[in-house]
Amino acid sequence: MGTHPERRDRARIYAEILENIYHTSSVGERPTVTRIQTRVNVPFVRFKEYIDDLEKKNLIKLETEITLTEKGIEYLKEYKKVREFLERFGMIRSREDETDY
């Protein structure tokens, strides 16, 4: 039997979207919907639902580009703590590509 990739839940996909927005902005690129959707690798229809939900939850602002709100940055910090906790107890695999916020 082969190994299956870890299934991403909604909370993780939200974190990946926010991480990609944060990273893209920090390297001086414009975080556009298309750029972030490509990097997160989810179908566009589903990605649009996630973006709309993140905007309703006040985690992002969607104008000509996507920007994180303070609440969005806080989500990333808290999500990282939860992942670290779950990794310590062997509930999920660790991720090497963590970013500090």
Per-residue model confidence as pLDDT tens digits over 20-62: 999 999 999 999 999 999 999 999 999 999 999 999 999 999 9
pTM for the full model? 0.85
Residue 68: C-alpha distances to residues 3, 19, 61, 77, 98 (Å): 34, 9, 6, 13, 17
Give residue 1's pLDDT. 42
Asked if the model's pLDDT at residue 4 lies above 80, the reply is no
Please report where in the chains the tokens 């996507």 appear, as a residue: 66
b/e burial code for range 12-25 (CB count within 10 A of at least 16 → b) = ebbbbbbbbbbebe
Look at residue 68 in the predicted model and tell me its pLDDT.
97
CATH for 10-88 is 1.10.10.10
Q: Which residue has the higher pLDDT, 21 or 4?
A: 21
Distance CA 6, CA 86 (A): 14
Q: Measuring CA to CA, which residue among 60, 100, 68 is closest to residue 84? A: 100
Question: What pLDDT shows up at residue 96?
Answer: 58
